[in-house]
């Protein structure tokens, strides 16, 4: 991307730098809100937000790298018993909850956009 100053900036680096400043895009805020509402793995987040996987999965990776999320793969035996690929589960960190609270103030409607997920027991990830 060509910046107004005439230099090139990678989208990934730009996103990481904006997250480091505590600024989240609307899409990133919606993804964090989905996790806060109990949608803890990629496909579930895609389903509830309506965003494509090409948006959700890179954002999850950046949020994890920035320290706003932690992630953990479920046990392979669980995925094999349901025949499906293993899921990577995400949880908000303290920093993630704080940055989400600030972003929700900025994007006021995001807090009302998703239903709360009923917290059903899920298989052990360890």
Q: What is the CATH number of the domain that holds 64?
A: 1.10.10.10
Domain count, the chain: 1
Residue numbers of the domain that contains 62: 11-112
Q: How far, in Å, CA of 59 to CA of 12, rounded?
A: 9
Question: Does residue 3 belong to any structural domain of this protein?
Answer: no
Beta strand 88-92 pairing with 69-73: antiparallel
For residue 75, how many other CB atoms are within 10 A of its CB?
A: 13
Q: pLDDT tens across 32-44, in order?
A: 999 999 999 999 9
Sign of the CA dihedral with 42 first, then 53, 114, and 69 last: positive
Please report the pLDDT score of residue 29 as a whole number. Answer: 94
With respect to residue 107, please indicate whether it lies within any of the assigned structural domains: yes
Q: Is residue 2 part of a domain?
A: no
pLDDT digits (tens, 9 = 90+) for 71-117: 999 999 999 999 999 999 999 999 999 999 999 888 876 666 555 66
In the beta sheet, which residues pair with residue 2? 8
* Residue 123 included in any domain: no
The answer to whether residue 41 is domain-embedded is: yes
Phi, psi of 73 (to 5 degrees): -75, 145
Task: Flag whether 40 is in a domain.
Answer: yes
Does the global pTM surpass 0.75? no
In-domain check, residue 5: no
Q: What is the pLDDT of residue 8?
A: 42
Residue 84 resides in a domain:
yes
């Amino acid at each position: 991307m060509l910046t107004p100053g005439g230099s090139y900036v990678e989208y990934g680096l730009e996103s990481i730098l904006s997250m480091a400043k505590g600024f989240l895009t609307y899409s990133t805020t919606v993804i964090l809100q989905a996790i806060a509402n109990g949608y803890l793995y990629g496909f579930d987040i895609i389903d509830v937000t309506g965003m494509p996987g090409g948006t959700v999965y890179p954002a999850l990776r950046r949020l994890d790298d920035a320290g706003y999320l932690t992630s953990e793969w479920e046990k392979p035996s669980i995925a094999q018993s349901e025949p499906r690929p293993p899921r990577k589960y995400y949880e908000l960190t303290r920093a993630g909850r704080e940055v989400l609270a600030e972003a929700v103030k900025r994007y006021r409607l995001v807090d009302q956009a998703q239903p709360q997920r009923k917290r059903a027991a899920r298989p052990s990830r360890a």
